[in-house]
Structure 1
């Protein structure tokens, strides 16, 4: 089914759900997993005397999150590696998926309100505009029940 799965991973609760679902798919299909964290410089840059840079703390924290995810997956027998990229998360995820010739991209679902989604954008939504492969947006089971509107049975004409 899938041979190369890209997991966009940030260690958040939504990211951990994506990790769980990607792990199940990887084990089922004997796929290789690549964990990718993207540091958005526009959100985490320091500007000092006209020069901007991402702090070492940000890099170390991001790498620690990736390594923790890798250890979980390796402990279950998954073949896994990780990478860190810098830039717009959606753009970097799509670019990396193309570079590694991914069969599937897995991302977590962050439940944002309409205003927050409009202001911040949605990485999953952005990826879906130009996907290089299949995309799985992992949703936590509790969110599934909240976000699904039940189908209501209506009476057909003539029924009494």
Structure 2
């Protein structure tokens, strides 16, 4: 099997998602592939009590850090890891849907996500990005152990 030509990686601004970005950057570097770093966002104000109740899992409900800052920081990490062709994109929408849309729009052949949320109560109740993309992605998916 040859290398990949376009790799999409998702980030929500969390440290664990940045570990997935670093792994995707290494793969993109080794394959001389374009690395598309995608951050989904929902432009609405979260309920201030959500963070108190869900704590570390609140990102699944409230969205990520400001998207432009998130993809900028992720781009810097990817370049530091050796990726030479990096395209950061902030896209409005739910994380799993957004990642799948970016994969299709960019004709990607690999999607990389972290495993955050796979083995949590919140992940089982409201779903997790890794599980959703593995179920629906039309391309290879690498789930990086980040937690």
Specify the TM-score bucket, using the shorter chain as the normaliser: 0.7 to 0.9
Bigger radius of gyration among the two = 1
Residue of structure 2 in register with 1:10 after alignment: 12
Residue of structure 2 in register with 1:108 after alignment: 114
What is the TM-score of this pair, normalised by structure 2?
Answer: 0.77
Q: Distance in 1 between matches of 2:84 and 2:145?
A: 22
Structure 1 stretches of 4+ with a deviation exceeding 4 A read 111-114
- Verify the 8 A CA contact 2:25 2:79 in the aligned structure 1: no
Q: What is the SS of the residue equivalent to 2:66?
A: helix
Query: Are positions 1:45 and 2:45 aligned together?
Result: yes
Gaps of 5+ in 2: 47-62
What is the TM-score of this pair, normalised by structure 1?
Answer: 0.71
**C-alpha RMSD of matched pairs (Å):** 2.4
- Verify the 8 A CA contact 1:40 1:89 in the aligned structure 2: no
- Give deviations 1:52-92, integer Å, cap 9, x for gaps: xxxxxx89822112111112323435210111111221111
Alignment of 1:79-98 (within 5 A): 79-98=85-104
